[in-house]
Amino acid sequence: MAEPVTIVALGDSLTAGYGLADQSQGFVPVLEGWLKARGHDVAVQNAGVSGDTTAGGLARIGWALGPEADALIVTLGGNDLLRGLDPVASKANLEGILKEAAARQLPVLLVSMKAPGNFGPEYKAAFDGMYGELAGAYGTFLADDFFGGLRAAGADPTDPASMAAFMQADGLHPNPEGVKLIVEGLGPKVEELLKEAGS
């Protein structure tokens, strides 16, 4: 029997499954189930810590990646946004995480977050652009938007009313229906990551 491919999902509350009464409805278990239903022998490890910033992710990447890790998903930046942190610092932190993965020869899926417009166009351009720049520099897979699956279902993240059906009451974290759509949106990218990890 071959060992399953182990993917470490490094992130914040969106990865951790914050606010869900049943943790089996969180991003990591739902993603693992989606992949297994499509025939993949995979284990997805939850390395999500609620409230974590890119700096927090960088601080713990060394021990978050155990010896069994075959691939890495990075979903960080949302809390940097909530705090209005400088995108230059956020980018440097993400780069540190990608360097650690590269040193271990692990393929990576970098998942973008999108800045709201309230910090101004320069901030938004710098923040939104850093993910693509890093993916290009480090040869990682790139998912354009964590909430892409909700957009595909017709929700607009800039319009809280259109997001309400898919979000918890705080308007920041997906409910079980939202998680399912997010996984369906990101799933094909994770399959590309799996293919690379298994080769």
Residue spans of the domains in the chain: they are 5-198
pLDDT digits (tens, 9 = 90+) for 176-186: 999 999 999 99
pLDDT tens digits along 101-124: 999 999 999 999 999 888 999 999
Mean pLDDT, the chain, as a whole number?
95
pLDDT digits (tens, 9 = 90+) for 29-70: 999 999 999 999 999 999 999 999 999 999 999 999 999 999
40 as an active site residue: the answer is no
CATH fourth-level superfamily of 5-198: SGNH hydrolase (3.40.50.1110)
User: Among 12, 13, 70, 80, which one carries the catalytic annotation?
Assistant: 13
Provide φ and ψ at 84, rounded to 5°: 65, 35
Q: Which of 22, 159, 170, 199 is catalytic?
A: 170
User: Which DSSP letter does residue 121 get?
Assistant: H
Contact 187, 27 (CB under 8 A): no
pTM here is 0.96
